[in-house]
Amino acid sequence: MKTLGIIGGMGPLATHDFYRKLIELTPAAEDAQHIPVVMVANTLIPNRIAAWEGRGPSPLPALITAARQCVESGARVLAMPCNTAHFWFEDMARAVPQARFLHIADEALRACPRGDGLPLRLALTGTHATVAMGLYQSAAVRLGMNVQWIDVTGVQASVTAAIASVKAGRIERAVAEYQRALDVLRSAGAKTVVMGCTELPVIAGSVRSGVLLIDATETLARACIAACMND
C-alpha cells in the first residue's frame, strides 16, 4: 500500500471533507487496512484567487514546499482537494517527479459517463475562478473526451450565491439557488453536472437535479484509494 500525500488547508473544511470521504470510501475493517496519509495543510499559503487575478503573490513556492514535504515523509501518490489551486498543478507535478499526482478535474471527468460517440453534454458548477480558469475544459482535452459544454448566462450568479450561502450556513437559500442553476442547465440540455467545488456536495442531496451530479472531491478520493491500494 502506498502512502497518500494530501496538499491541504485550502480551506481546512475542504481538506477535512476530502479526508472524511477518503476514510469512508476505503474498504477497511481495521486501522491497518486504511491508507497511510501524510497531510500538509499550510493555511498561510497565499490566496489563490488573488494570485490568479494578479492582485497578490504566487502560491506556487508554498505549494511546491507542501508537495515536497509530503514526498519527503513517504508519499508516493499526491492529491490536492482544492480546485482553484490546480491552476499551478503542472508546475507542482514537475517539482515532485517521484510521486503520482492525481488531478481533481481529470478524476471528476473520468467518473462521467461516456456518450457512445455522441458528445457528453456536461456542465461545470463551481466558483467563478474555477470555471474561468478552464481547468475542466483542459482536462477534457487531455483525456480526449468529446464534450459539449453547457453554459448559460446567469447560471454562474446562482451558483456563486449557492456557494456563499453554504459557507454562511444558510442552507435553504443555498438549495434554492443551486436548484435554479440546475433547472436552467437541464433545460439547456445538460445531462451531467460536475460539482467542482467543495461546498456544493453539502446540498446535493437536497436538490431535485434531474441530471447526474458528480462530486469532484469524492472522485478524487476514490482515485486516490485505487492508486494507493492497487499496488
Supply the minimum distance, in Å, between the C-beta of residue 55 and its own copies. Answer: 15
Supply the minimum distance, in Å, between the C-beta of residue 34 and its own copies. Answer: 4
Q: Write out the residues near its own copies by the rule CB under 8 A.
A: 1, 3, 6, 8-13, 16, 19-20, 23, 26, 28, 30-45, 47, 69, 72-74
| Bond before 11 cis per omega within 30 degrees | yes
* Cross-strand partners of 193: 123, 213
Supply the minimum distance, in Å, between the C-beta of residue 12 and its own copies. Answer: 5
Q: State the CB neighbour count (10 A cutoff) for residue 44.
A: 7
CB closer to its own copies out of 47 and 138:
47
C-alpha of 222 from chain center: 12
CB closer to its own copies out of 31 and 116:
31
**How does 9-29 read in b/e, with b if 16+ C-beta sit within 10 Å?**
bbeeebbebbbebbeeebeee
CB closer to its own copies out of 1 and 141:
1
CB closer to its own copies out of 39 and 120:
39
CB closer to its own copies out of 13 and 132:
13
R_g (Cα) of the chain, nearest Å: 17
Helix or strand or coil: residue 168? coil
CB closer to its own copies out of 36 and 134:
36
Supply the minimum distance, in Å, between the C-beta of residue 53 and its own copies. Answer: 16
Q: Let me know: does 36 contact 60? Beta carbons within 8 Å.
A: no
Q: Is the dihedral of CA 8, 13, 16, 22 positive or negative?
A: negative
Q: Is 9 left (phi over 0), alpha (psi -120 to 50) or beta?
A: left
Supply the minimum distance, in Å, between the C-beta of residue 148 and its own copies. Answer: 35
Helix or strand or coil: residue 80? coil
Supply the minimum distance, in Å, between the C-beta of residue 171 and its own copies. Answer: 17
